[in-house]
Structure 1
Amino acid sequence: MPANPKYLTQSKWQRFAKITAAILGGYLVSISFHLALASWFNRANIIITMAFSGFILWVALMVIAFLAKNGWKIWLIYIVLSCLFSGILYLGQTYNPIAK
């Protein structure tokens, strides 16, 4: 049974923004989150755990991107989150250079 057209995104730019935010933005947030954790905690454990939890987080972020009304707002949120996690990563590498 096909989807009701009134619930589908009509704008091609919004569709493009949602798809790219889901794939690329979700991946950037997932990786930056786990790297930020790895800079403060045991690197080996976080990187091994990232193989599973990173994929789960990425899929959850994909779902969130497609549920949103505006794809550009999701891109903005994902970029802000990636920058926040990158800042935490930078601070972790600066103040905790040898995380075990």
Structure 2
Amino acid sequence: MPANPKYLTQSKWQRFAKITAAILGGYLVSISFHLALASWFNKANIIITMAFSGFIVWVALMVIAFLAKNGWKIWLIYLGLSLFFSGLLYLGQSYNPITK
């Protein structure tokens, strides 16, 4: 049974924004989140855990991107989250430098 057309996104730009936000934006948020965690906690444990939890977070962010009404707002939110987590990564690396 096909989907009801009134629930589908009509604009090609909105569809493009949702697809790219789901794939690329979700990946950026997932990776930056786990790297920020790794800069504050035990790196080996976080990186090993990221193999599984990173995929789960990425899929959840994909679903959220497709549920949103506006793809460009999701891009803005995902880029903002990525910048926030990158800032935490920078702070974590400056407060907890790698010692050899």
Same-fold status (TM-score > 0.5): yes
* 1:66 Cα offset (Å): 0.1
* CA shift for structure 1 position 99: 7.7
1:82 Cα deviation after fit: 0.1
Instruction: Give the TM-score normalised by structure 2.
Output: 0.98
Query: SS of 1:74's equivalent?
Result: helix
> Aligned-pair RMSD on alpha carbons?
1.3
What TM-score results when the alignment is normalised by the length of structure 1? 0.98
Identity %: 91
Length, aligned pairs only:
100
Distance 1:78 1:99 in 2: 32
Give the secondary structure class of the aligned counterpart of 1:86.
helix
| Structure 1 portions without partners, runs of 5+ | none
Deviations 1:48-99 (A, max 9, x none): 0000000000000000000000000000000000000000000000011138
Cα distance between partner residues in 2 of 1:55 and 1:80: 20
> Equivalences for 1:70-81 in 2 at 5 Å?
70-81=70-81
Q: Distance in 2 between matches of 1:33 and 1:59?
A: 14
